[in-house]
């Protein structure tokens, strides 16, 4: 199916990204998974090439173009070479951390952090989830107490992508009877990291538990408005969920492309397994599912660009596309037979990497609750 969402500028950008990916990313993907960490030089190379902070205003070192389609191209090219971990890490940087700063930061905060986040010399993380508060952020226990002109932070966060290597963490904490957001440089005394968490998938993307022990922050570390941290997070969740939806669609396309190629190379009973009717039927079903997913994603991406994407539409995209990706990758692995169960084959890593998409950014059960409440409100 012809895809008409992209224009010539997007095609030119894709060519540049594909060249960069072939040189700086594809050769290192398996090693990153083994090491549980992405080389910092890859971050700076991506920044120098203009792949980070595309939507950040140029006066802060970004590309000045908030068109989400450029982010989609990056996801498509990264997943095409199996760089799912690098995609996850840069998605946190570009679709979570940077938008918080662009939207809520003071001129001083933007000037301090955005240039280094855009050039890759700083890595950012978003600290929301806690051991006792996952999808239910109202249950967080991390506390920020005002002490004169300073804030004192105590608590912990868990499952924080980029947490082990981050230079900056945006932290959600309780302040009196509400919540607020804070910019926490990781070289601040009182900041402590746990070990890298041992995950099922996305193993090259470092994930950690973070601790704040009487961590003292200046007053200007507050991000946005005091007491409105929860609201600030809710307002930005549609962007995060669209990032997950776009990743899921790109990963499904990549898995299908890899599997289609495998089916016409791998032989059994004297012919390519793609020449068996059962295999062709399965490929036909997957190809159709991918086309439907792409159409759905493209429509919601244009709504996001226009500032018209609702929280409900974002929840629908995140829920449906992440679930579809899981089903597609499962079927693709089956078509690889025993080879699909070997981690040396990318499809095995795709399978493990896909499992988290229905979980993070709000579980899909929460997505259904959001959608269901909207249905009930209109009834």
The two tokens of residue 288 are 């159709």
The CATH code that applies to domain 8-122 is 1.10.540.10
Q: Looking at residue 230, what is its pLDDT?
A: 97
pLDDT (0 to 100) of residue 166 = 98
Dist. CA 96–CA 223, nearest whole Å: 14
* pLDDT, tens digit only, all 379 positions of the chain: 678 899 999 999 999 999 999 999 999 999 999 999 999 999 999 999 999 999 999 999 999 999 999 999 999 999 999 999 999 999 999 999 999 999 999 999 999 999 999 999 999 999 999 998 888 898 999 999 999 999 999 999 999 999 999 999 999 999 987 999 999 999 999 999 998 999 999 999 999 999 999 999 999 999 999 999 999 999 999 999 999 999 999 999 999 999 999 999 999 999 999 999 999 999 999 999 999 999 999 999 999 999 999 999 999 999 999 999 999 999 999 999 999 999 999 999 999 999 999 999 999 999 999 999 999 998 8
Return the structure tokens found at 298.
Answer: 């493209």
Alpha helices in 92-136 (DSSP H): 98-104, 107-119
Residue 161, number of CB atoms within 10 A of its CB:
25
C-alpha torsion sign, points 373, 375, 376, 377: positive
Q: Is 240 considered catalytic here?
A: yes
Q: What is residue 344's DSSP assignment?
A: T
Residues 6+ apart with CB under 8 A from 94: 52, 53, 54, 55, 71
In this structure, what are the phi and psi dihedrals at residue 75, rounded to the nearest 5 degrees?
-60, -40
Domain covering 125-227 assigned CATH 2.40.110.10 in the classification: yes
Cα dist from 365 to 153, 264, 356, 360, 368, whole Å: 31, 38, 13, 11, 5
Annotated catalytic residue within 76, 77, 209, 240: 240
pLDDT of residue 3: 82
CB 242 within 8 A of CB 68: yes
Residues contacting residue 113 through CB under 8 Å, at least 6 positions apart? 101, 105, 122, 124, 168, 183
Show me where the domains of the chain are located: 8-122, 125-227, 230-377
What is the value of pTM for the model shown? 0.96
Look at residue 123 and give its three-state secondary structure. Answer: coil
State whether residue 97 is helix, strand or coil: helix
230-377 topology per CATH: Butyryl-CoA Dehydrogenase, subunit A; domain 3 (1.20.140)
Sequence-distant (6+) residues with CB within 8 A of 117 are 52, 53, 56, 93, 97, 98, 101, 123, 124, 168
CB 177 within 8 A of CB 228: no
């Amino acid at each position: 199916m012809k895809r008409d969402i992209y224009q010539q500028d997007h095609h030119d950008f894709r060519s540049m990204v594909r060249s960069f990916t072939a040189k700086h990313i594809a050769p290192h993907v398996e090693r990153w998974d083994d090491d549980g960490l992405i080389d910092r030089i890859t971050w700076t190379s991506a920044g120098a090439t203009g792949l980070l902070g595309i939507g950040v205003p140029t006066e802060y070192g970004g590309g000045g173009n908030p068109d989400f389609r450029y982010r989609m191209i990056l996801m498509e090219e990264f997943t095409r070479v199996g760089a799912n971990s690098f995609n996850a890490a840069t998605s946190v940087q570009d679709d979570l951390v940077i938008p918080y700063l662009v939207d809520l930061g003071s001129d001083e905060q933007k000037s301090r952090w955005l240039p280094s986040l855009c050039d890759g010399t700083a890595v950012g993380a978003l600290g929301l989830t806690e051991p006792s508060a996952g999808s239910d952020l109202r249950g967080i226990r991390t506390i920020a107490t005002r002490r004169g002109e300073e804030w004192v932070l105590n608590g912990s966060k868990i499952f924080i992508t980029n947490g082990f290597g981050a230079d900056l963490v945006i932290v959600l904490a309780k302040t009196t009877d509400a919540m607020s957001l804070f910019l926490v440089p990781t070289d601040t005394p009182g900041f402590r990291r746990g070990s890298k968490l041992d995950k099922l998938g996305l193993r090259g993307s470092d994930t950690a538990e973070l601790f704040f022990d009487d961590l003292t922050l200046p007053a200007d570390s507050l991000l946005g408005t005091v007491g409105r941290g929860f609201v600030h997070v809710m307002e930005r969740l549609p962007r995060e969920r669209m990032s997950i939806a776009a990743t899921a669609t790109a990963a499904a396309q990549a898995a299908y492309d890899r599997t289609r190629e495998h089916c016409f190379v791998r032989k059994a009973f004297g012919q390519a397994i793609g020449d068996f009717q059962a295999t062709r039927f399965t490929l036909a079903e997957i190809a159709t599912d991918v086309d439907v997913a792409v159409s759905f994603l493209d429509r919601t991406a244009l709504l996001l660009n226009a500032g018209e994407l609702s929280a409900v539409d974002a929840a629908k995209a995140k829920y449906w596309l992440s679930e579809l990706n899981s089903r597609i990758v499962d079927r693709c692995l089956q078509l690889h037979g025993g080879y699909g169960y070997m981690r040396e084959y990318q499809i095995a890593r795709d399978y493990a990497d896909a499992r988290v998409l229905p979980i993070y950014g709000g579980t899909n059960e929460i997505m259904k609750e959001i959608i269901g409440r909207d249905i009930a409100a209109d009834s």
